[in-house]
Structure 1
Amino acid sequence: MLTKQTYTRLGETVFQTTLANGLKVILVPKAGFHKTFAVMTTNYGSTDNEFVPRGQSQAVRFPDGIAHFLEHKLFEKEDHDAFDLFGQYGASANAFTSFTQTSYLFATTSHLHENLDILLDFVQQPYFTAATVNKEKGIIGQEIEMYDDDPGWQSYFGMIGQLYPREPLHIDIAGTVDSIDKITADDLYAAYNTFYHPSNMNLIVVGQLDPEETLAWITANQDQKTFGPSQPIERIASPQTPATEIAPTTTRHLTVNRPKVSIGLRGYDEVPAGQAGLAYNVAVSLAFDLLFNDTSDNYLRLYDANVIDDSFGYDFQIQRGAHFAQLAGDTDHPESFVSELTAILTDAPAQLLAAQAQFELVKREAIGRTIGAINSVEAIANQYDGPLFGGATIFDELTVLEGMTFADVQAAMAQFQAASRQTVYTILP
């Protein structure tokens, strides 16, 4: 049975249910839209590399990159490729792996029923052999080598590596050429059987759809399949890096025309659970907007001084088990880049007070971006974080934004800053 949540002012309705096998289904009809977008996600990503396989009692350390490797291999079946089936019904398909999730998706303007069946079937019917696994190693190896030569990617993971040297977060999502060479078909089945049970997955469909009809299609597909009972997943957490062990700075030389600098801040404070975590995420993100967006006094001053340019950007992320901020960009003055931005961060309470007059403007800009995203079926689906924020959707994020106060932002930033540790990763020509 579908539960219904209506966001009256937005004219939006979200329908949700959990099937008998544990699969969570979220349906968002969008009147007047021709395109429909569907994403099926498992709560399993690159950081989940040590766990107790389903049906076993001892933890196993699996090769780095196995979640991403599994994502690649699920499309290939014994006698066909899932991409070809989507193509026959006019859909474009893709997949991606993050630190904590793996998602499979398609977009279509027709044949929603058929494409949903293809999505559910190829994700839920694995086929791995030694021969197909070995063939894929060369393909993924080339992808890894491509990112090894990408300065931006190296800057990002260099910063992550400084903040999380003991935790698997610092490992490239695709692994290394050596680590993926160790992956076997049995490894893939062990990971699949542990994390791809419907009870660890969700399916969100957004666009031109009838909720009851769409749910009936999904339910009929699932009723044709047999899954074992749901079991708790035992992930083995790595020891947390003590704050005292975070290296303050590292410099590396690569083939770049200009220096690249990445400043990372690791939060050691405890992120609230459920939708309170979403509010914390929104508040800290607004604080960084006030301090560093392209209309802030800080940005304009540093831009005029040629310390930063249009490459400058910042981000605050909350992942399962981790949260951090990054400020990064190309600069001809890396020492000034670091000293100026560090000074702003150190003086954040006073800096926020100085920017208080801009709060309503920055908040309205964030609301505008979120409303703009609500007009994108892809954004609605991709911004659903599943269990991370208690099942909150982008519509809940907008509600949180609208109720956010300057005092909320001050408090959240103070909490994050008081328990954060900083690192600097610099790439020089």
Structure 2
Amino acid sequence: MERIYDDVLHEEVYVNSYTNGLKAFVIKKKNFSKAFAGYATKYGSVDSKFIHPKTNEIVEVPDGIAHFLEHKLFEEQEGNVFDRFAKFGAMANAFTSFKETVYYFISTQNFYENFEILLDFVQNPYFTEQNVEKEKGIIAQEIRMYQDNPNWRVYFNLLNALYVEHPVKIDIAGTLDSIQKITKDDLYLCYNTFYHPSNMIVVVCGDVDPQKVFDMVEKMEKTKEYQSLIERIYPEEPDRVNQKRIEVKQSISTPIFYIGFKDHLNDLPPYDMIMKDIETQILAEMLFGKSTDFYEQLYKEGLINQSFGFEYNCEPDYSFFMIGGESKDPDQVYQRVLEHIENVKNNGIEKNEFERAKKVVLGNHLRKFDNPEKLSVEFIYSYFKGINIFEYVKEINSVSYESCQNRLKSFFEEDKSCISIVWPIQ
């Protein structure tokens, strides 16, 4: 067991490595009543094509299988895992993203009993032809529900506009057609490939005993041998956007939109990924944050409301920035956004705005450390990218005015942008 103490954040982290490749982390939070535990695998919706670890052959499975697998792991031969957690007063759940699947619980009591359940069920899949067929109907209903959700629709329509080939454009749950192709054997293949300890981590955050946590993991680990690294296959993605505009109509009162910018500076070393991420966050806050003149002017004109916001997704094989919300005139906002970016590029960013935005980004990061769930999930995301979340404070402070100027010049290009709009049905 290794203890790491961060002098800047005064955070204490314990790490334990196992012979099968698994790593477990305990972020010690003294006097916290709530504890979080997550069992995560580096496996998400974009990982539908890979090299079979046993045969070395290329395998391609139906879209949506990572999410399908997440659903099925909660079903046991004796019943439902949620009932086991409820018995000990825990709130359990899971989520599948583009790159990860995370199973977790949050509790204020009976932590170790709940932790044992988490370690047990994630390692014991139970798939039958009957329960797989039954799940298809449940997930099909979920897909239809998301397709009817305008916020979900505007988001994935934007990704379809941004990306030509990359599977990030495909709904995490798959499609109504793709999930019908999923079989019991597909699920076991993906489970045995991606749910190996060498591709997983355990993260605990709370006032718990690190040694007891690590001993429980050691005792309950079923797989003892190490597995070679998983080779994922992604298609070649051109720099250009797929299409400039996607529009649909749904039953809403006010149009919803997202403007997207495709980033081409990907596949960077972890440190460069951190810096690109931070620089983009600072730029976004300077350009579009709620304290800017730009936001205030559009708000006064009634072109945006409180829903207006932005996010940046930074991964080794894809990165994109998106900004949007509700607006009576999305096209006017799009034009104003492009003009504003060009104006700032020509005139340069103001140093006082740079310092203000830097403090906002730092504050947003530090707030995560007061919430065990947010901190743990952010830790998982960062770890799977090869990034230490505790390095972020030092790196945020090290970002220079000049590096942000350079990032602005290389990003937010009009020809790499597009817009997705959901209009009200007239």
TM-score by length of 1: 0.94
Q: Aligned partners of 1:204 and 1:190: how far apart in 2?
A: 25
Is the 2:267–2:317 Cα contact (8 Å) retained in structure 1? no
Q: Map Cα deviations across residues 239-284 of structure 1 (whole Å, 9 max, x no partner).
A: 21341x5312232222222222211111112353113311220111
Counterpart in the other structure of 2:371: 376
SS in 2 for 1:4: strand
Counterpart in the other structure of 1:35: 34
Query: Structure 1 residues 228 and 129, CA, compared in 2 at 3 Å: closer, same or farther?
Result: farther
Q: Aligned partners of 1:117 and 1:352: how far apart in 2?
A: 55
Is the 2:45–2:66 Cα contact (8 Å) retained in structure 1? yes
**Pairing partner for 1:286 from 282, 289, 307:** 282
Counterpart in the other structure of 2:391: 396
> What residue identity is the alignment partner of 1:273?
P
Q: Map Cα deviations across residues 213-236 of structure 1 (whole Å, 9 max, x no partner).
A: 2212222222xx234431221212
Counterpart in the other structure of 2:308: 312
Q: Aligned partners of 1:19 and 1:374: how far apart in 2?
A: 27
Q: 1:320 offset after TM fit, Å?
A: 4.1
Counterpart in the other structure of 2:128: 129
Is the 2:267–2:316 Cα contact (8 Å) retained in structure 1? no
Map residues 85-234 of structure 1 onto 2, 5 A cutoff: 85-222=84-221, 225-234=222-231
Range 113-122 or range 249-258, more displaced: 249-258
Q: Aligned partners of 1:78 and 1:424: how far apart in 2?
A: 47
**Pairing partner for 2:317 from 318, 321, 324:** 321
Q: Map Cα deviations across residues 140-171 of structure 1 (whole Å, 9 max, x no partner).
A: 11111001101111100000001113111110
Q: 1:118 offset after TM fit, Å?
A: 1.1
Is the 2:286–2:353 Cα contact (8 Å) retained in structure 1? yes
Counterpart in the other structure of 1:300: 296
Counterpart in the other structure of 1:421: 416
Q: Aligned partners of 1:90 and 1:43: how far apart in 2?
A: 28
> What residue identity is the alignment partner of 2:315?
Q
1:236 equivalent in alignment to 2:233: yes
SS in 2 for 1:383: helix
Q: 1:112 offset after TM fit, Å?
A: 2.2
> What residue identity is the alignment partner of 1:327?
I
**Pairing partner for 2:403 from 408, 411, 416:** 408
* RMSD (Å) for aligned C-alpha atoms: 1.8
SS in 2 for 1:396: helix
> What residue identity is the alignment partner of 2:326?
D
Is the 1:275–1:392 Cα contact (8 Å) retained in structure 2? no
Is the 1:202–1:386 Cα contact (8 Å) retained in structure 2? no
SS in 2 for 1:270: coil
Counterpart in the other structure of 1:347: 343
Q: Aligned partners of 1:332 and 1:351: how far apart in 2?
A: 30
For structure 2, the residue ranges without an aligned partner over 5 or more in a row are none
Map residues 12-27 of structure 1 onto 2, 5 A cutoff: 12-27=11-26
Q: Aligned partners of 2:213 and 2:397: how far apart in 1?
A: 32
Is the 1:16–1:26 Cα contact (8 Å) retained in structure 2? yes
Counterpart in the other structure of 1:45: 44
Query: Structure 1 residues 407 and 303, CA, compared in 2 at 3 Å: closer, same or farther?
Result: same
TM-score by length of 2: 0.94
Q: 1:182 offset after TM fit, Å?
A: 1.0
Q: Map Cα deviations across residues 381-421 of structure 1 (whole Å, 9 max, x no partner).
A: 0101244442412x322222233232232223333346971
SS in 2 for 1:17: strand
Q: Aligned partners of 1:303 and 1:291: how far apart in 2?
A: 14
Query: Structure 1 residues 420 and 128, CA, compared in 2 at 3 Å: closer, same or farther?
Result: farther
Range 255-264 or range 411-420, more displaced: 411-420
> What residue identity is the alignment partner of 2:233?
I
SS in 2 for 1:64: coil
Is the 1:23–1:198 Cα contact (8 Å) retained in structure 2? yes
1:249 equivalent in alignment to 2:248: no
